[in-house]
Amino acid sequence: KYVMLTKIAFSPIFEEHNKSVVTEFILLGLSSSQELQLVLFIVFSVFYGAAVLGNILIILTVITDSRLHSPMYFLLSNLSFIDVCQATFATPKMIADFLSERKTITFQGCMSQIFFLHVFGGSEMVLLVAMAYDRYIAICRPLHYLAIMSRRVCTVLVVVSWAIGILHSASHLAFTVDLPFCGPNKVDSFFCDLPLVTKLACRDTYVISLLIVADSGFLSLSSFLLLVVSYTVILITVRSRSSASMAKARSTLTAHITVVILFFGPCIFIYVWPFSSYSVDKVLAVFYTIFTPILNPVIYTLRNKEVKAAMSKLKSRYLKPGQFSVVIRNALFLQSK
Ligand SMILES: *[C@@H]1O[C@H](CO)[C@@H](O)[C@H](O)[C@H]1NC(C)=O
């Protein structure tokens, strides 16, 4: 009985899919020149490796060093986790595609790229707001900091940011999956993103484009406004007290604000003006899939003495010359078994 019910409930979706003939999309990539492809292959491999290693290093440092067990660093390592995901959902395929002639992606693959892009992007925005809130409490209400930013509140902030990301993305996909794709299948980018894919549908997508703008635009603009307001309040507070401890707060703030601008600049440009030129969008897409994931570790970490000290401790603990060779020997031993 239940099987029957599910079949009836989902049959409209299946029929809609049967009507559309596109089963795979062709990704045009970043460039069509052969020599450039090889250069891009090398450059992006290096950037991708740096982004993943840098962020994993941050997560390991925060987890292993008990002096970094504070809300600010928990949120930072959660940001690094999102960055690893953000860098990984499309970039490895793009890197492999640099070397292949036919750059195709299945319909399902394309839809999942759209889904993950918006899950990670949306969660990262909300998490940046949570990090700004954390700094606001730390600087503007320092005496209540530990009471307000308890472990539980921290976990709630992380869970809420993932929940908003997933809901936001699911609402986007609901508009897109049902679109009829009946012929055109060339996506002019290196991964599937909404404005480019809806453009290929055989139906007037003006209303859907507006819905996408409303949805993504609402999320990014409201997070951006919240960030602007909270950093403005923080900066005014910092200015009014000029002690030595505020100098440290100021350098942390500079890092946060740089990341916010670099993250939101491209997003707002692509989604709030989706009718703008698509070739500009393609370059901006590189920005938020590769450059922001690298910039976060660089900006947040290299300027931060506590993190640097913790990292060198981690290094001396795990990479003593003698120990390192033992690790290698064990690894080889396990391999041969
Ligand atoms: C994310 O934040 C939670 C809540 O504070 C923390 O327990 C957890 O360790 C963090 N996760 C990562 C990967 O850093």
Q: How far is CA 315 from CA 58, 87, 204, 328, in A?
A: 12, 25, 57, 16
* Predicted local distance difference test score (pLDDT) of residue 79: 92
Residue 173 has pLDDT above 50, yes or no: yes
Inter-residue contact 111 to 197 (CB < 8 Å): no
Q: Can you give the pTM of this predicted structure? A: 0.80
For residue 302, what pLDDT is reported? 65
Question: Rounded to an integer, what distance in angstroms lies between the CA atom of residue 175 and that of residue 95?
Answer: 29
C-alpha distances out from residue 143 to 140, 149, 169, 283, Å:
9, 11, 38, 45
| Residue 63 falls inside a structural domain | yes
* Cα 1 to middle of ligand 1, angstroms: 43
**pLDDT tens per residue, range 215-255:** 887 888 899 889 889 888 888 888 777 666 677 777 777 77
Residue 115: the pLDDT is: 92
Q: Is residue 1 situated within a structural domain?
A: no
63 CA to middle of ligand 1, Å?
8
pLDDT tens, position by position, 180-198? 888 788 888 888 887 778 8
CA distances from 193 to 21, 67, 200, 333 (A): 20, 41, 11, 45
- Say how many domains are in the chain: 1
Structure tokens at 139: 């600087």
Distance 78 CA to ligand 1 centre (A): 6
Percent of the chain that is helix, strand, coil (3-state, to 5): 80, 5, 15
Which range of residues forms the domain containing residue 87?
A: 24-315
Mutate-to-test residue for ligand 1 from 63, 72, 74, highest number of ligand atoms within 8 A of CB: 74
For the cut 50, the answer to whether the pLDDT of residue 12 exceeds it is no
Cβ-proximal residues to 177 (8 Å cutoff; 6+ apart), any chain: 13, 111
Would you state the pLDDT for residue 130?
94
The mean pLDDT value for 252-280 works out to 69
At 34, which CATH number? 1.20.1070.10
Burial of 307 (0-12, 13-18, 19+ CB in 10 A): buried
CA of 59 relative to ligand 1 center, distance in Å:
9
Confidence at residue 74, expressed as pLDDT on a 0 to 100 scale: 92
**pLDDT value of residue 335:** 41
Mean pLDDT throughout 120-135? 91
Q: Give domain status of residue 88, yes or no.
A: yes
56 falls within a domain = yes
In a domain, 326, yes or no: no
Q: Residues lining ligand 1, judged by CB closer than 6 Å?
A: 59, 62, 74, 77-78, 81, 151, 154-155, 158
